[in-house]
């Protein structure tokens, strides 16, 4: 195994350990879906007994965002990943790296995240946290159209 592959494996291990520390091992698994194209867009799902919980990424998880950002700069230019899936379950972790040639040019690897969640956890409902209380105070965008 080359040095860059070992370094990528170490980063994936660190992300997995951080998630187990935060969410515990008493679940049906922890899934990370991360788009790495030009930055990190990172989602975490935890399999509960009767549903899958979407975890809102908070400041204490920015360490993982930084680690995943570092992952983009470890391999040689022709091996830079477009995305990564990490699944942690029963004391082990598996990962799948997605490369640009694996995804149609006009898409990101996890545009349809729900299908990935279902593939790992089955067809359980996904629970999202409520909107923050200040979300209604955000200014509206100019999406209105005039009717004539």
What local confidence, expressed as pLDDT, does residue 110 receive? 87
- From CA 47, how far away is CA 120, in angstroms rounded? 9
**Per-residue pLDDT averaged across 50-57, rounded?**
92
Helix crossing, 3-23 with 62-71: angle to 10°? 160
Where do the H-state alpha helices sit in the chain? Answer: 3-23, 62-71, 113-121
pTM of the predicted structure, to 2 decimals = 0.84
> Which structural domain range is residue 20 located in?
3-130
What local confidence, expressed as pLDDT, does residue 97 receive? 94
What local confidence, expressed as pLDDT, does residue 143 receive? 47
- From CA 140, how far away is CA 127, in angstroms rounded? 25
Residue 12 belongs to a domain? yes
Count of domains for the chain? 1
pLDDT, the chain, mean:
88
Residue 32 belongs to a domain? yes
Give 98-124 pLDDT, tens digit per residue. 998 998 888 878 888 999 999 999 999
Residue 142 belongs to a domain? no
- CATH number of the domain where residue 98 is located: 3.30.500.20
What local confidence, expressed as pLDDT, does residue 138 receive? 55
Residue 102 belongs to a domain? yes
Residue 62 belongs to a domain? yes
Residue 57, classed as helix, strand or coil, is coil
């Amino acid at each position: 195994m080359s040095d860059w592959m070992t370094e990528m494996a170490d980063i994936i291990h660190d992300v997995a350990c951080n998630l187990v520390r935060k969410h515990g091992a008493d679940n049906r698994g922890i899934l990370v879906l991360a788009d790495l194209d030009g930055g990190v867009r990172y989602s975490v799902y935890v399999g509960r007994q009767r549903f899958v919980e979407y975890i809102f990424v908070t400041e204490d998880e920015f360490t993982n965002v930084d680690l995943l950002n570092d992952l983009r700069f470890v391999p040689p230019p022709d091996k830079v990943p477009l995305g990564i899936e990490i699944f942690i379950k029963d004391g082990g972790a598996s990962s799948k790296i997605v490369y640009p040639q694996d995804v149609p040019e006009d898409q990101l690897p996890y545009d349809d995240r729900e299908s990935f969640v279902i593939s790992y956890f089955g067809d359980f409902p996904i629970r999202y946290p409520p909107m923050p209380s200040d979300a209604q105070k955000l200014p509206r965008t100019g999406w209105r159209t005039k009717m004539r």
